[in-house]
A and B are shown apart, each in its own frame.
Chain A
Amino acid sequence: MSADRSPGTDGADAETSAEGDEVIDPVDRPERDARPPALAVVVSLVAAAIASLATFLAAPLGGALLAVATVAFVAGSVRRSHRFLSWGAGLGVVGLAVAGYRGGGVEPLLVGGVALAVAWDAADHGLSVGEQVGRDARTRRNVAVHAGTTLLAGALSVGVVYGVYLAAAGSQPVAALALLLFGAVVLASALR
């Protein structure tokens, strides 16, 4: 029962209890199936497929790169590796950049971008839920709310950005670009 009392089970646990004795963190007890919840994996896969399709419509090479990113997401979920997911996300961004550079349309690119973000986010969130709560527990609501919020954030961004683009960029592409860039820089620096 207590054979697994190994000291220092959690490197990030900075808690030094008054008893002076290292107590196993209850979150790390081995009672759960630590794989990510099925819903998170499914959401991630569907979103990644949408991203691949949208980017493929913009430019086939970009779509191919996103398909590879999808494979990386699957591998990350199966092997429970955050690193695989990060590589997948990076690859996806490169795929989007390639598709944009090759002259893909604006709309499929935006859809692909948001779908990529949702795919990575759902997979990564699924990993952390799996680690802390496990696959067998009730997690559906949590995963759905999280994926929904991320999708909403993406949709809002797209709405604002695309609205500005339609309003400004139709006649003056360069001015619109500069305006958008300026806005982007201001937003990014406001966060610091």
Chain B
Amino acid sequence: MSETGDPAPNEGPAEGADAATTERRVRREIETGRWDGVRGAALALVGVGIVARRPGLVLLGAVGVGYVLYAGVGEAPAATLDVTRTASDATPEPGDEVTVTVRARNVGDAPLPDLRLVDGVPPGLEVVDGPARVATALRPGATVAFEYAARASRGEHEWEAATAITRNPSGSRERTTAVDPVDPARIVCTPDLAAGGDLPLRGLTTRSHGRMPTDVGGAGVEFHATREYRRGDPLKRVDWNRRARTGELATVELREERAATVVLLVDARETAYAASDPAAETAVEASVGAAGQAFRALLDGGDRVGIAALGPVDCWLAPGAGTAHAARGRETLATDPALAPTPSGDRFYRSLWLRRFRRRLPADAQVLFFTPLIDDAAASIARRIDAHGHLVTVLSPDVTASGTTGERLVGLERRERLRDLRSTGVRAIEWGEESFPVAVARATSRWSR
């Protein structure tokens, strides 16, 4: 983002520097064929003029031949551009508008009579003000600058190569060039993680003390059971009432509260990049938002939390606790390429992924699985993780629409999958219109521990 290509006052300085700041690759050269037919029209006019002995028509035909000449002259010029791109804010908040300024300078010796420049806006960003494009003509040494605003969304976005389309003066030949500044703009947009209230976990816990009430007797606050007194039991845990009644010594056991190990698994396969309408938030976006809230809430509750992505790109943050871990988790959710706002396009191998995931998953970890559940594979993965002894809670953003018959069918299938999962003992929460914490609170009130 440095202003290396700043126009120098005199022409053609630092040839080497120009080559270093912008990389140019010719993508394709074509004949546009837009003047096809003018030759035939010209000769036809000349012919009619000769036959009818009308000098005007012959002259007109000759002018047509002049245009044939015009169309044939000149190659499409090389896009000898030096492009710099500046984003107004390198670390915006989600939803902020980032103003991007693009300057392109013609560093070649030939003029560019017809230049169209399309900036390579990252696919995850939406251009909100003005197209990121310009059409102009550039003399040697001249600069064109344009700016546009893009709305920042979660993730790390790096600009792609700009596309420059140059034509010769008549427009009969066209050359498309990728113009890539060596230092493309990049923005990193990291949302703050808001704690999403209390999160329901299932009764699989670690040996460390925490907040999850367990079925293990020991120290705690809630009554669990009584047992025979053993030497060494603390005096304050002796059931003195019983001693008074029956004369026997007994010890009260309290429910031990322990920490849980939780892995937040976010479905980021290509199918999960679905939204109820093209402008709406994708399921991955909703899942990542909810996972952020869960991450914060669980860490605050003293649990050990990890993050994983179900998708072609590997993403694994081992369960941990503490401030540094919180920062790492925030960073992972915000910028990990596996959770990027647009799908990576790589192939996803389910069984390979499952094997690797199981190898990494601590034995006592439970899984919060965020998935839109719009295909059978997600439900089957939830069941398989559950079958391997990790308690699974499915949290499913509802991205189905109800417009057409097909959309309603997808919604129906999804509800059927939820019911199936619940019947096999996997807990499931879905949320659509209402916020994630509200849905969690409502679902939790129904559940027994």
Give A residues with C-beta under 8 Å from B.
Answer: 1-5, 12-15, 19, 21, 23-27, 29, 31-33, 37, 58, 86, 89-90, 93, 96-97, 100-101, 103-106, 109-110, 113-114, 117, 121, 124-125, 128-129, 132-134, 136-139, 141-143, 145-146, 149-150, 153-154, 156-158, 160-162, 165, 169, 173, 176-177, 180-181, 183-184, 187-188, 191
Known A96-B60, A161-B59; judge A31-B127 contact (CB<8 A). Answer: yes
Interface 0/1 of B314-353, CB less than 8 Å to A:
0000000000000000000000000001110110000000
Min distance, Cβ B291 to any Cβ of chain A, angstroms: 19
A137 to B61, CA, bound (A): 37
Q: Report yes or no: B67 in contact with A187, Cβ–Cβ below 8 A.
A: no
Q: Report yes or no: A104 in contact with B56, Cβ–Cβ below 8 A.
A: yes
Q: Report yes or no: B48 in contact with A97, Cβ–Cβ below 8 A.
A: yes
Q: Report yes or no: B113 in contact with A146, Cβ–Cβ below 8 A.
A: yes
Give B residues with C-beta under 8 Å from A.
Answer: 27-28, 30, 32, 34, 37-39, 41-46, 48-50, 52-70, 72, 113-116, 118-121, 123-124, 126-127, 130-137, 146, 160, 163, 165, 169-171, 273-275, 278, 282, 341-343, 345-346
Min distance, Cβ A7 to any Cβ of chain B, angstroms: 11
Known A191-B68, A191-B72; judge A137-B130 contact (CB<8 A). Answer: yes
Q: Report yes or no: A132 in contact with B70, Cβ–Cβ below 8 A.
A: no
A58 to B109, CA, bound (A): 45
Smallest CB-CB separation from A58: which chain B residue?
Answer: B56
Smallest CB-CB separation from B71: which chain A residue?
Answer: A191
Partner of A27, one of B113, B123, B165: B165
Partner of B61, one of A86, A139, A184: A184
Q: Report yes or no: A177 in contact with B58, Cβ–Cβ below 8 A.
A: yes
Min distance, Cβ B236 to any Cβ of chain A, angstroms: 60
Min distance, Cβ B199 to any Cβ of chain A, angstroms: 28
Q: Report yes or no: A157 in contact with B67, Cβ–Cβ below 8 A.
A: yes
Chain A residues within 8 Å of B120, by CB: 26
CB pairs A–B below 8 angstroms (21 shown)? A1-B275, A27-B163, A31-B127, A90-B41, A101-B52, A106-B55, A109-B59, A114-B63, A128-B171, A133-B118, A137-B135, A137-B146, A143-B135, A149-B169, A153-B70, A161-B63, A162-B59, A165-B59, A180-B46, A183-B65, A184-B43
Min distance, Cβ B38 to any Cβ of chain A, angstroms: 8
Q: Report yes or no: A133 in contact with B131, Cβ–Cβ below 8 A.
A: yes
Partner of B28, one of A15, A19, A37, A160: A15
Partner of B39, one of A24, A89, A173, A188: A188
Chain B residues within 8 Å of A33, by CB: 131
Q: Report yes or no: B56 in contact with A136, Cβ–Cβ below 8 A.
A: no
Chain A residues within 8 Å of B130, by CB: 136-137
Chain B residues within 8 Å of A93, by CB: 41, 44-45
A181 to B48, CA, bound (A): 11
Q: Report yes or no: A96 in contact with B45, Cβ–Cβ below 8 A.
A: yes
Known A31-B131, A184-B42; judge A101-B62 contact (CB<8 A). Answer: no
A100 to B46, CA, bound (A): 11
Chain B residues within 8 Å of A143, by CB: 135
Q: Report yes or no: B67 in contact with A133, Cβ–Cβ below 8 A.
A: no
A184 to B64, CA, bound (A): 9
A101 to B275, CA, bound (A): 64
Q: Report yes or no: B60 in contact with A100, Cβ–Cβ below 8 A.
A: yes
Chain B residues within 8 Å of A31, by CB: 121, 126-127, 131-132
A113 to B170, CA, bound (A): 17
Chain A residues within 8 Å of B57, by CB: 96-97, 100-101, 109
Min distance, Cβ B81 to any Cβ of chain A, angstroms: 15
Q: Report yes or no: A136 in contact with B60, Cβ–Cβ below 8 A.
A: no
Q: Report yes or no: A150 in contact with B45, Cβ–Cβ below 8 A.
A: no
Min distance, Cβ A28 to any Cβ of chain B, angstroms: 10
Q: Report yes or no: A180 in contact with B45, Cβ–Cβ below 8 A.
A: no
Known A96-B45, A133-B116, A188-B43; judge A113-B63 contact (CB<8 A). Answer: yes
Chain A residues within 8 Å of B63, by CB: 110, 113-114, 154, 157-158, 161
